[in-house]
């Protein structure tokens, strides 16, 4: 039986057992709780994975969904961001993925599992009001490629999901989010915003057996918004 465990490094409402910073939540599969680390303390992820190892000894997949920046970063130019703020954002948004990968490696090795993280198009292109997170996502995407190379020998697959703009709490820190959502809807070939459910369905595919031949890639769930506008509205000359 698959012991599906969604390790989400984001805050959740406490519903079951709490040990200061560790929260165990009842999952949708009876008997298998989600384990959430709500602390930035360096030893907390270690405690979480020790608990997972003691309970199950293996993992089918891990989803890393963690990013953060200081409020000052969202309103200043990239060139004006202070080193401490930049390092904070890089540690939370990128290095945490490496830390999770190292801790989960022996557990994923047993199942030939998947390690998945989330990114955004602003990691590859200059997008308005995303300057404070774009470099972090670029670094994260590079880590995915290198980890795919390093862990491939053990058949551990590493993936990135690039979701389009959505009206979520995580996106609320972006200036003029309403304008971004409107632009995304207008320019995406599907002419709509994608949903969290669609992102989850892709994650389920990447974590399952049907994607065993895939690793190291960026997989878009954005209605085609990542396609350059000049190509989505291309009109061929009549004499072509």
What is the set of active-site residues? 120, 130
Q: Which of 55, 57, 19, 56 is nearest to 38 (CA)?
A: 19
**According to DSSP H, which parts of the chain are helical?**
44-55, 71-75, 83-90, 96-109, 134-151, 177-187, 196-206, 229-232
Give one DSSP letter per residue of 93-135, joined into a string: IIIHHHHHHHHHHHHHHTTT-EEEEEE-GGGTS--TT-TTTHH
Evaluate whether 159 touches 219 at the Cβ level (below 8 Å).
yes
* Percent of the chain that is helix, strand, coil (3-state, to 5): 45, 15, 45
Helices 44-55 and 96-109: angle between axes, nearest 10 degrees: 20
Q: In angstroms, rounded to a whole number, what is the distance separating the alpha carbons of residues 118 and 97?
A: 10
The DSSP symbol for 225 reads: T
């Amino acid at each position: 039986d698959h012991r599906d465990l969604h390790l989400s490094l984001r805050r959740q409402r406490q519903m079951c057992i709490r040990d200061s910073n560790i929260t165990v939540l009842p999952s949708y599969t009876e008997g298998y709780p989600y384990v959430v680390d709500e602390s930035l303390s360096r030893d907390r992820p270690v405690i979480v994975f020790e608990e997972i190892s003691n309970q199950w000894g293996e993992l089918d997949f891990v989803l890393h969904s963690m990013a953060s920046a200081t409020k000052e970063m969202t309103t200043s130019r990239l060139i004006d961001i202070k080193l401490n703020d930049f390092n904070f954002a890089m540690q939370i948004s990128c290095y945490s993925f490496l830390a999770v990968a190292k801790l989960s490696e022996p557990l994923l090795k047993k199942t030939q599992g998947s390690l998945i993280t989330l990114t955004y198009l602003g990691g590859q292109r200059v997008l308005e009001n995303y300057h404070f997170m774009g470099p972090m996502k670029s670094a994260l995407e590079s880590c995915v490629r290198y980890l795919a190379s390093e862990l491939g020998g053990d058949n551990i697959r590493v993936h990135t999901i690039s979701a389009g703009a959505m009206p979520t709490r995580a996106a609320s820190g972006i200036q003029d989010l309403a304008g971004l959502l409107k632009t995304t809807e207008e320019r995406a070939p599907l002419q709509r915003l994608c949903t969290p459910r669609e992102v989850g369905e892709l994650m389920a595919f990447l974590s399952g057996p049907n994607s065993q031949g895939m690793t190291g890639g960026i997989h878009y769930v954005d209605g085609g918004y990542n396609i350059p506008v000049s190509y989505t509205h291309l009109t061929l000359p009549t004499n072509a």
